[in-house]
Amino acid sequence: MAATLSRTDFEFKNQKSVYHGKVRDVYDIDDLLVMVATDRISAFDVVLPKGIPFKGQVLNQIAEYFLDATSDIVPNWKIAVPDPMATVGKKCQPLKIEMIVRGYLTGSAWREYQNGAREICGVAIPDGMRENQKFEHPILTPTTKADEGHDENISREEIIARGIVPEEVYEQVERYALALFERGQQMAAERGLILVDTKYEFGLLDGKVILIDEIHTPDSSRYFYADGYEERFEKGEPQRQLSKEFVRQWLISNGFMGKEGQQVPEMTDEYCQEVSRRYIELYEHITGKKFQPADESALEQRIFDNVSECLGRLG
């Protein structure tokens, strides 16, 4: 199986700290951040035991593609992408919420709906809807952004009442999130895909709202194939999709949902390669570009050298 990058522990010049997230390692360097997209994969807020070949490269390059394609809607944190698995950008003060935009009733929202919920994050959901049905208009279902453990659903009213985000900032973030989703849906449609739902993260820089982190990647978004969507929906059949949901479904079918006492099923090399193929397929489908695997013979050294050279130019 191809080499994978499960963790980095670089020491860049002027480095202040490093944060190891579920998937990304984030280096704090003066007024810059270096974000390395590793090959780790998480589901149900659990980092799975094996990495996925080329996953970090796919995530980083899809995020780059969409950050560039949406910079006219909202300014973003990206300055440079010196390596296929790393982005250098502006350090912002992250807002402690994630903005989840849903165009269809599916995934965790559908699971809640099946259990009787008719309101998610303060948004009313009508009776009689079916799995994978399109909403009349996209809905916003924010979550808190937990430093550790599970994010929690929260309503717009709670966010403002608790002072998590000032009302005027939240309203701006809402507008940005819906505009980004509309652009993402348009771009997906041009490639024969449906952008079903996604999450966005924002921060503040000099008092201005900035789009941060990734955007429209298979880790943060769900895509259906447009071809056959209506027919499958009418028949109540599962949709063909390109997203991380198939990993969640595989885990669920093997008795794992991140709950105490549950064991992650064995991830064979063959399964990891299949997940890798799905990630690469989405990259090629959504960008229209042929995926070019980067040299993986010395992953860590390559990333360190490329990022160091970039930081030297920016410094």
The average pLDDT across 178-187 equals 98
The model's pLDDT over 233-273, given as tens digits with 9 standing for 90+, comes to: 999 999 998 778 789 889 999 999 999 999 999 999 999 99
Mean pLDDT score of the chain = 94
Per residue in 53-73, pLDDT (tens digit) is 999 999 999 999 999 999 999
Q: Residues 5-33: pLDDT tens digits?
A: 999 999 999 999 999 999 999 999 989 99
Instruction: For CATH 3.30.470.20, list the domain ranges present in the chain.
Output: 94-243
Q: What is the DSSP letter of 153?
A: B
Q: What is the pLDDT of residue 9?
A: 95
What's the mean pLDDT in 140-165? 87
CATH fold for the domain made of 94-243? D-amino Acid Aminotransferase; Chain A, domain 1 (3.30.470)
Is the Cα dihedral 53, 56, 57, 58 positive or negative? positive
- List, for residues 153-164, the tens digit of each pLDDT value: 999 999 999 999
pLDDT band at 113 (very low <50, low <70, confident <90, very high): very high
The kind and range of the H/E element at 180 are helix 167-190
Structure tokens given for 266? 């064995």
pLDDT at 148: 58
What is the predicted pLDDT for the residue at 138?
A: 98
Q: What residues contact 6, with CB distance under 8 A and at least 6 apart?
A: 38, 39, 40, 51
pLDDT at 219: 86
Residue 150: which pLDDT band, with cuts at 50, 70 and 90?
low
Q: Residue 296 — pLDDT band, cuts 50, 70, 90?
A: confident
Give the span between the Cα atoms of 146 and 28, in whole angstroms: 19
At the topology level, CATH places domain 15-92+271-314 in Phosphorylase Kinase; domain 1 (3.30.200)
Q: What is the pLDDT of residue 18?
A: 97
Give the per-residue pLDDT at 218. 84
Q: What is the pTM of this model?
A: 0.91
Cβ atoms of 180 and 211 within 8 Å: the answer is: yes
pLDDT band at 147 (very low <50, low <70, confident <90, very high): low
pLDDT at 167 over 70: yes
> Has residue 89 got a pLDDT over 60?
yes
Q: Where in the chain is the domain with CATH 3.30.200.20?
A: 15-92+271-314
